[in-house]
Structure 1
Amino acid sequence: MTPNLSTAAAPSSVSAAAVAAESINKSYGRDNTTVHALRDVSVSFPSGRFTAIMGPSGSGKSTLMHCLAGLDTADSGRILLGGTDITGLNDAELTRLRRDRVGFVFQSFNLIPTLTAEQNITLPVALAGGQVEREWLQQICTILGLADRLSHRPHELSGGQQQRVAVARALLTRPDVIFGDEPTGNLDSRSGAEVLALLRRSSQEMGQTIIMVTHDPVAASYADRVILMQDGALVGELERSTPDTILSALSQLGA
């Protein structure tokens, strides 16, 4: 297994990271039914990079993402998002942080069918009572190939176009980080490739930090970096890898 992953992030890398975990642990259940989902995990995600998290089922990859995004809380340790320690925030503060500083792209598109593409993209800003940056919206939609689809409702869009709308929605608030949870899981291979290429482009050209959980080596190959997990721990990482290289590493984990 590739031994490149440090088990403890250096202070300088943590302070410069878009998001970082310091010795976080997470368990579910009690006594004989306890499941240790995360075991003393320390890792940092540099700003402007596209990272994939992979591992066998039950390895802790989704739990790690949920804790990093403030969707779940760690039992111990610290999580820093843009320099903010989120582990001590209450529910209301976490809600504001997710709304203002985090973007999400899920396997399901989560679009409201009665709204147009543009209205779906701008909905989080509208709900927060904010003002949409029209120039930024236009730039995002042009890059994502949505400029001529903004008046269409979800049922008038292909699956790939619907997921592009979800990506645009995530980008609109210029978040510290975008989290993707199997974002191409409901797409055919061509549409999936288009969305992954757009995520990579948003990282390379817009400086957007992206963290994606996936089981697909092809999807992970679009990332700058692949982090490997097993039994709740980080066990290795790969840089700019091919699907075959990733698949080989996963096979050593029994995935």
Structure 2
Amino acid sequence: MTMIAATGLAKSYGAEPNRVPALRGVDVAIPKGTFTAVMGPSGSGKSTLLHCLSGLDTVDAGTVRIGDTEITALPERALTRLRRERIGFVFQAFNLLPTLTAGENIVLPLELTGRRPDPEHFDAVVTLLGLADRLEHRPAQLSGGQAQRVAMARALITGPDVVFADEPTGNLDRRTGRELLDLLRRSVDELGQTVVMVTHDPAAAARTDRVLLLADGRVVDDVAEPSGAEVLRRLDELDGDEYANQSADGTESVSR
């Protein structure tokens, strides 16, 4: 089953004569229950694609469907409700409310739509993310990794159709970032979650089922069952300067 289907996506920023195209006729199909990475050189359109697929940004042309709903046809109020109920977000910044406990931050999306958490699903998410002993802590009392796990629990608590993650390991150290990637992987394997992640890290991409490579606003490659080395090789072909000092495991290297 296809969870996300995008056809002919076009998006530009700015006004003429300085208008800059970010997406140029992008077609994407994401199967349900899969983990997909979106990668590419700086300015390739990867974050713009994530924002358009998730309804955070409008498109100039094309359509996006999540499940059986064409989100590009929805009025703003209906789109806001869809984002709250059917989409989860994990960003580089944790975006937790400092006055709420971890548990309160997790269930906030449900409260905003007047829903109560399902106890069994809540327990499954909290157990998956190892947060049972942190639910009464406020964000200031959490480490970066714990705060990002709370943000991930908040994204999963609604049982969303899809979770969009934008550089989710960007503010984490290497070990904690790997732990978060493990949890994203497990959410797909154990909860049947669909995850789409923007990343610049070949090691992170190697944890996914598929990598979409963008360049100049177009999908130029589609890598199934990626390895870090294969992703890095293909990225080097797109923009060798940007990735020249990065190794396949995400560390910096002096020579290649």
With normalisation by structure 1, the TM-score equals 0.92
* Letter of the structure 2 residue corresponding to residue 120 of structure 1: N
* Letter of the structure 1 residue corresponding to residue 198 of structure 2: V
1:49-104 Cα shifts (integer Å, max 9, x gaps)? 00000001110111111000001111111100111111111111110010010000
1:167-194 Cα shifts (integer Å, max 9, x gaps)? 1110000101000000000000011000
Matches within 5 A, 1:1-255: 16-254=1-239, 255=242
Q: 1:30 deviation in Å?
A: 2.8
1:224-252 Cα shifts (integer Å, max 9, x gaps)? 10100000000001122222211111010
Q: 1:32 deviation in Å?
A: 2.5
Name the structure 1 match of 2:253. Answer: none
Q: Matches of 1:19 and 1:44 in 2, distance apart?
A: 6
Indicate if the aligned counterparts of 2:85 and 2:109 stay in contact, CA closer than 8 A: no
- Structure with bigger RCO (C-alpha 8 Å, 6+ apart): 1
Instruction: Please give the secondary structure, in 1, of the residue aligned with 2:175.
Output: helix
Give the percent of matched residue pairs that are identical in Structure 1 and Structure 2: 57
* Letter of the structure 1 residue corresponding to residue 51 of structure 2: H
1:194-247 Cα shifts (integer Å, max 9, x gaps)? 000000000011110000001111111111101000000000011222222111
1:3-33 Cα shifts (integer Å, max 9, x gaps)? xxxxxxxxxxxxx311110111111223331
Indicate if the aligned counterparts of 2:40 and 2:213 stay in contact, CA closer than 8 A: yes
Q: 1:110 deviation in Å?
A: 0.7
Deviates more, 1:18-27 or 1:49-58: 18-27
Q: Matches of 2:213 and 2:57 in 1, distance apart?
A: 20
Q: 1:129 deviation in Å?
A: 1.3
* Letter of the structure 2 residue corresponding to residue 80 of structure 1: R
Q: Matches of 2:92 and 2:196 in 1, distance apart?
A: 14
Q: 1:114 deviation in Å?
A: 1.7
Indicate if the aligned counterparts of 2:98 and 2:139 stay in contact, CA closer than 8 A: yes
Q: Matches of 1:158 and 1:35 in 2, distance apart?
A: 39
Deviates more, 1:170-179 or 1:243-252: 243-252
Aligned residues: 240
Q: Matches of 1:117 and 1:28 in 2, distance apart?
A: 37
Instruction: Please give the secondary structure, in 1, of the residue aligned with 2:95.
Output: coil
Indicate if the aligned counterparts of 2:6 and 2:65 stay in contact, CA closer than 8 A: yes
Mind listing any 5+ residue stretches in structure 1 that lack a counterpart? 1-15
Indicate if the aligned counterparts of 2:33 and 2:188 stay in contact, CA closer than 8 A: yes
